[in-house]
């Protein structure tokens, strides 16, 4: 989500607008909490020597 979208002022004038806003927030929360499958492994590199060995001639 872009950070600019957080900086919006929202004005709610009636119950229907409030209900629509709450529903949108709940849908967004449900989408954001879905598990994501990752098909790759992660290895933490510590130290200059290990980083240079990992990248080889690419750096």
What's the pLDDT tens digit per position in 5-58? 667 788 899 999 999 999 998 998 888 777 778 888 888 999 999 998 988 877
Report if residue 48 sits inside a domain. Answer: no
Whole-model pTM: value is: 0.44
Q: Is residue 9 part of a domain?
A: yes
The answer to whether residue 59 is domain-embedded is: no
Tell me what pLDDT residue 4 has. 63
Domain annotation covers residue 55: no
Flag whether pLDDT at 2 surpasses 70. no
Sorting pLDDT into bands at 50, 70 and 90, what band is 59?
low
Range of the domain at 18: 1-36
Number of domains in the chain: 1
**pLDDT for position 46:** 92
Residue 49 lies in a domain: no
CA distances from 52 to 12, 14, 33 (A): 55, 60, 36
**Is 51 a domain residue?**
no
């Amino acid at each position: 989500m872009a950070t600019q979208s957080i900086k919006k002022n929202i004005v709610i004038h009636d119950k229907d607008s409030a209900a629509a806003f709450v529903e949108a927030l709940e849908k967004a929360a449900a989408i954001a909490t879905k598990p994501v499958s990752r098909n790759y492994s992660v290895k933490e590199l510590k130290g200059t020597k290990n980083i240079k060995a990992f990248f080889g001639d690419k750096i």
